[in-house]
């Protein structure tokens, strides 16, 4: 009986190792299937984006715009230099001061929320540029 305990513990250990191995193999197959689905969805969305960008560029084409102008009898032309008014750039700090009037005693929570709001807007702008 003394040797049978060692044999049973070896069999139990091998069984646990085999179960872990099978679990890892099943998990890798599941991840592979999900990766394939995600890759297929990404390629479909990329193809749709390419088609939509082509449509937008086609709609912006001067040839198409000229045809629309002729169809609607629009007598549009480029503006002359006299008609163009150049507006000087407004400093950003001036816009922020006039857009939101500050209170005499701002609460610390409002300054924290402004800080996080600025970070969120910056992050959104960066993600829009990278898309």
CA distance 65 to 69: 6
**Is 11 a domain residue?**
yes
Give residue 73's pLDDT. 77
Displacement of CA 34 from its chain's centroid (Å): 20
Kindly state whether residue 58 falls inside one of the protein's structural domains. Answer: yes
**What does each of the 131 residues of the chain score in pLDDT, given as a tens digit?**
577 888 999 999 999 999 999 999 999 999 999 999 999 999 999 999 999 999 888 888 878 877 877 888 777 666 566 666 777 777 776 555 555 555 555 455 566 667 666 666 666 655 555 54
What is the domain extent for residue 51? 7-102
In a domain, 49, yes or no: yes
Nearest to 118 by CA among 108, 106, 110: 110
Whether residue 28 is contained in a domain is answered as yes
pTM score above 0.85: no
Is residue 115 assigned to a domain?
A: no
Separation of alpha carbons 131 and 127, rounded Å:
6
- Please report whether residue 35 resides in a domain: yes
Number of domains in the chain: 1
């Amino acid at each position: 009986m003394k040797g049978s305990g060692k044999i049973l513990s070896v069999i139990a250990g091998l069984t646990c190792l085999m179960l872990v191995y099978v679990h890892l193999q099943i998990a890798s197959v599941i991840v592979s299937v999900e990766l394939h689905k995600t890759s297929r969805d990404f390629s479909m969305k990329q193809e749709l984006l390419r088609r939509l960008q082509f449509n937008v560029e086609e709609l912006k084409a001067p040839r198409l715009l000229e045809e629309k102008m002729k169809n609607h009898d629009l007598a549009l032309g480029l503006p002359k230099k006299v008609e163009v008014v150049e507006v000087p750039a407004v400093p950003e700090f001036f816009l922020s001061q006039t857009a939101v009037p500050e209170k005499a005693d701002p609460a610390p929570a409002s300054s924290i929320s402004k800080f996080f709001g600025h970070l969120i807007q910056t992050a959104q702008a960066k993600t829009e540029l990278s898309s």
